[in-house]
Structure 1
Amino acid sequence: MSNVSKSEAMMSRWRQQLASGLAELGLALDAETQARLLAFLGLLAKWNGAYNLTAVRNPDEMVSRQLLDSLSIAPYVTADAVLDVGSGGGLPGIPLAIVFPQRRFTLLDSNSKKTRFLTQCKLELGLDNLVVIHGRAEDCQPDQRYAQVTSRAFTALANLINWCGPLLADDGEFLAMKGQFPEDEVSALPAGWRVMQHQSLAVPGCSGERHLLTLARQSPGAAS
């Protein structure tokens, strides 16, 4: 089979996997949006060899472990402006930006190679609602703090709060994506913070546990 035929066959599999997975997640996306998601996945696969953007190398796992995993938190993304910290290869920030063109997403990462990739994705996919920042969370000084901050396997919850708490609006919330429920990390939360809710995520095609933890500042006088 020629390289062109292999590429076409892979894209056909991706298209089928995405359509099936979106149906399982209950996400109704038009054909153009699905095509942009697959175009992003193609860029991720192309750049991954040189830039080491993600550990997922098997093409048959990319739709589930990258696109569908990112989109599993879509129902919980409600803010007009969202910060994705430690965005790496753009997960979950870019899939969410594609699905929610009416919301603004800022992707922050300290690795210059990764932010170059993110900037290329913004240009090639025409993501006008996307801002890419190269730098550390501790050094970021936004004009306005964010109502929601997402992270996907970025760091321990305590670090997330200590590094990114100043970037979160007073009444904002962290959406922290984890594998197994992190009991030890929850027990080590800094004073003044709490888990508002935690949700088990079912990601089509993915084995193993997935959890979403929503963290917020403790209301004065509230029970710990």
Structure 2
Amino acid sequence: MSTGERPDTEVPAELRTLANDPLHGDDRLREYFGDSYPRVLAFAELLADQGVLRGLIGPRELTRIWERHILNSAAVVPFLGEGTIVDVGSGAGLPGIVVAAMLPERQVVLVEPMERRTTWLFEAAERCGIDNAIVVRGRAEEVRESVEADVITARAVASIDKIVKWCAPLLSPTGTMALLKGRSAPLEIESAKYVLRRAGLVGEVHDAHTLDGVDPTTVVTLTRAAH
């Protein structure tokens, strides 16, 4: 989801570049992303150039796009199981566009209610050579008749209890969720325990690592409870 609001002033072009990011050019990025690196790089460059201007990220995030946004999004990929992935509240395309770039063999549905952000998602997928992403405009509770997910992911959308209420109807019978959360994830799971129980889901918190020296990302997986 997006992390900033539309700014009042434009950012100078010389600041809208990955050259200011300390991780840019690090050989470990190419190794980590492998064959998907060109697509991921194209998206990172586009986000640096257009993200602030289009109200998708804040100006202070221009120097940490790789760590704060791209690697943070990529950390969820090992938890995405199999089948169709649905990114709810996709916003800037985090993690949805990154996931689609990294998993070209998977269908990734980007669900986003705001028109200007769906326009961005269409453009980003096209310009970055990502042809496995489908953009759907609407809220999760509005698209349940047309969208079914084997895996749901979301970043900075809402608390776990709200995400489950909104998104559980989208899940296939064996579907799971993999949510990018903060350090309060264990407390969120505890607060959502009754909602999780009604939905037949069990929560688990994971520290997801990417590169050495980069803080791990907190991923919460919600899986079907054993009967």
For the residues of structure 1 that align with 2:86 and 2:159, how far apart are their CA atoms?
A: 17
1:52, distance to aligned residue in structure 2 (A): 1.1
1:183, distance to aligned residue in structure 2 (A): 3.0
- Equivalent residue, structure 2, for 1:197: 204
- Equivalent residue, structure 2, for 1:138: 141
**Residue 96 (1) aligns with residue 106 (2):** no
For the residues of structure 2 that align with 1:47 and 1:64, how far apart are their CA atoms?
A: 18
**Residue 57 (1) aligns with residue 60 (2):** yes
Q: Is the Cα contact below 8 Å between 2:92 and 2:117 reproduced in 1?
A: yes
Q: Is the Cα contact below 8 Å between 2:183 and 2:218 reproduced in 1?
A: yes
- Equivalent residue, structure 2, for 1:87: 90
For the residues of structure 1 that align with 2:49 and 2:109, how far apart are their CA atoms?
A: 23
1:47, distance to aligned residue in structure 2 (A): 2.1
For the residues of structure 2 that align with 1:115 and 1:16, how far apart are their CA atoms?
A: 30
Counterpart residue identity of residue 28, structure 2: S
Within 5 A, what are the aligned runs for 1:162-181?
162-181=165-184
* Alignment RMSD: 2.7
Deviations 1:99-124 (A, max 9, x none): 11100100111121111100101221
Match of 2:221 among 202, 214, 219: 214
Q: Percent identity?
A: 26
Q: How many positions carry a matched residue from both structures? A: 211
Counterpart residue identity of residue 25, structure 2: Q
Match of 2:34 among 29, 33, 51: 29
Q: Is the Cα contact below 8 Å between 1:174 and 1:216 reproduced in 2?
A: yes
Q: Calculate the TM-score normalised by the size of structure 1.
A: 0.82
Deviations 1:29-71 (A, max 9, x none): 03xx312211111211222233211236343311111111111
For the residues of structure 1 that align with 2:137 and 2:188, how far apart are their CA atoms?
A: 27
Could you tell which deviates more after superposition, 161-170 or 135-144?
Answer: 135-144
1:218, distance to aligned residue in structure 2 (A): 3.0
- Equivalent residue, structure 2, for 1:111: 114
Counterpart residue identity of residue 34, structure 2: L
With over 3 angstroms needed to count, the CA separation of the structure-2 counterparts of 1:136 and 1:8, relative to structure 1, is closer
Q: Is the Cα contact below 8 Å between 1:85 and 1:150 reproduced in 2?
A: yes
For the residues of structure 2 that align with 1:12 and 1:187, how far apart are their CA atoms?
A: 37
Unaligned stretches of 5+ residues in structure 1? none
With over 3 angstroms needed to count, the CA separation of the structure-2 counterparts of 1:121 and 1:5, relative to structure 1, is closer
With over 3 angstroms needed to count, the CA separation of the structure-2 counterparts of 1:113 and 1:212, relative to structure 1, is same
Q: Is the Cα contact below 8 Å between 1:199 and 1:211 reproduced in 2?
A: yes
Q: Calculate the TM-score normalised by the size of structure 2.
A: 0.81
For the residues of structure 2 that align with 1:8 and 1:106, how far apart are their CA atoms?
A: 28
**Residue 10 (1) aligns with residue 19 (2):** yes
Unaligned stretches of 5+ residues in structure 2? 1-11
